[in-house]
Amino acid sequence: FRLALIQLHVSAVKSDNLQRACGLVREASAKGAKVVALPECFNSPYGTQYFKEYAENIPGESTQKLSEVAKECSIYLVGGSIPEEDGGKLYNTCTVFGPDGAMVAKHRKVHLFDINIPGKIQFKESETLSPGNSFSMFDTPYCKVGLGICYDLRFAEMAQIYGQKGCQLLIYPGAFNLTTGPAHWELLQRGRAVDNQVYVATVSPARDEKASYVAWGHSTVVNPWGEVIAKAGAEETVIYTDIDLKKLAEIRQQIPILSQKRCDLYGIEMKK
């Protein structure tokens, strides 16, 4: 099946972001994509100072638009992420809509991005956001898909559990920056893909040098052999790749690590 990743240029005007995102979703569908994904924080600028101002309830304006365009195009739409307000708390939340427009998954970012690299970047999502507390998977007629958001990619255990639960594609809307992007963006994706013999897709906003937080871009798809099979540059674009589950099955047969794990010696478990 064809997967499309929309590397959207995100502005400060929410209505413009929604309109452009929906237009690119239609374009991706017209080119045969059955699963389409948007980037992290696709409806608002990324930054702790913006989350409260742009936050919405779910359902709300942005998710309503995602539901409508998923139904119109008869696709699975991974709605990047938006700042979500619920019960006085804010979350970084990804919603997924099916071909009938119904919400099939909702993932709140589990690991909050609190880092301090002296002289490079300091950022603390936990100043405004609360963490999610659950894994998020959804079924399609093609395969089972696991979800993470940005910093979740760094936690190998999460991807391993998705693999154990039968996911063959992991999708991470994310916005790495100009420090961590060149260092780890592709490396982490290739690691997650090889460790679990799954496809890994990451969807970044396009780079905006004038933004307070500058995203690395380079939305990417990696196959279960660890090869980069599609990669964007820094600009707004849509990249396409065909997910070949036959190739995935062949790789798992040739190097059967999943059945060779020594579960008598070690294990990773999902606690809730």
Tell me how far apart the 2 most distant CA atoms of the chain are, in Å: 54
- State CA 69 to chain mean position distance: 18
Q: Please identify which of the residues 14, 22, 40, 125 carries the catalytic annotation.
A: 40
- Specify whether 165 is catalytic: no
Q: Please identify which of the residues 41, 73, 150, 167 carries the catalytic annotation.
A: 150
- Specify whether 40 is catalytic: yes
What does the block give as tokens for 65? 């638009």
- Specify whether 22 is catalytic: no
Q: Please identify which of the residues 84, 85, 109, 125 carries the catalytic annotation.
A: 109
Active site residues: 40, 109, 150
